[in-house]
Amino acid sequence: MSSSWPAGPRRVLVVGIDGVRLDLLPELDTPHLDAVAAAGFLAPVEVDEATPTMSGPCWATIVTGVSVAKHGVFGNHFGGNRLDVFPDFTTRLAAVHRRRTFAAGGWEPLFLARQGGPLFAAPGRLSYIAPLEDTPQAWEVCDERVTAEAVYVLGGDDDPQASFVYLGAVDETAHFLGCGEEYRQSIQAADERLGRLLTAVRERPGYADEEWTVIVVTDHGHLDQGGHGGRSTLERTAWVAAFGPGIEPGAPVRTVRHPDVAAHVYAALDITPDPHWTLDGRPFTPALSRV
């Protein structure tokens, strides 16, 4: 680890916003995502050829740091997975390193033993908040409730050292209504929720003595009419934005891949991955890499 890294408690927040098209971001009012990018970077991610452009496989790769060939999630039904061998970072950190971890969201297979899940097997604290029905409006309400819960936990006594917050309304809106005005409004609503999460972090009593890494990531894109799963550029283009210690604002960033998210979480917490984990990712910046 670089000797220039300042001392202090380290914390990581990963915000997963499902199905946000990269090509539309410049047209939209997303001040909080823009602020994350300005403090660090925002880089495109191409979903690799082996990975279906579906939420299940992409989120599994993002939070485990390994490819579909290892974690075994090939669709939105998680049956046949190998997540016991390749767990998500909140579960691994809680079990192996005794770190306080937190995961929250409203999509069943991520958080419950349904549809072959859960992806988040055993974080220190889990908040599953289901939408009342499968509509864009119900998912907006769900994301509001998830955000309120995450704001409470991030600022409270639980003091998680690594957190994952999932927002699903943008993806659901695209599936029901396509990538028109309602979809754009949903992206802007997700950005407002991101802003509240960032405010909760900044208003922590010990924030001045803490070192926060924030990562915002999407899993895949969408066709204009809504939908994904194919190999078009719109579907396979995702993105990652991040800031924190070791990430120089505006500095060139190498090609970023989905498995790098979990690898960077470990590096940001000063944890050297066990070789037996066989991670496929590496930290975003060379300053944090032990490889």
Confidence of residue 3 (pLDDT cuts 50, 70, 90): very low
Sorted by sequence, the CB contacts under 8 Å of residue 168 that are 6+ apart come out as 18, 105, 106, 107, 131, 139, 142, 143
1 vs 29, which has greater pLDDT?
29
pLDDT score recorded for residue 157: 82
Sorted by sequence, the CB contacts under 8 Å of residue 131 that are 6+ apart come out as 106, 138, 139, 141, 142, 168
pLDDT score recorded for residue 287: 60
pLDDT score recorded for residue 156: 86
How do residues 202-219 score in pLDDT, each as one tens digit?
A: 999 999 999 999 999 999
Confidence of residue 7 (pLDDT cuts 50, 70, 90): very low
Name the CATH topology of 10-288: Alkaline Phosphatase, subunit A (3.40.720)
What percent of the chain is modeled with pLDDT above 70?
96
Mean pLDDT, range 178-204, rounded to an integer: 98
Sorted by sequence, the CB contacts under 8 Å of residue 74 that are 6+ apart come out as 52, 56, 57, 68, 80
Sheet with 10-17, strands from edge to edge, namely: 41-46, 237-243, 211-217, 10-17, 162-167, 101-105, 125-128
Going from N- to C-terminal start, the domains of the chain cover 10-288
How do residues 243-263 score in pLDDT, each as one tens digit?
A: 999 999 987 778 999 999 999
How do residues 42-72 score in pLDDT, each as one tens digit?
A: 999 999 999 999 999 999 999 999 999 999 9
In this model, does residue 135 exceed pLDDT 70?
A: yes
Least confident of 1-10, 50-59, 138-147: 1-10
Mean pLDDT, range 28-32, rounded to an integer: 98
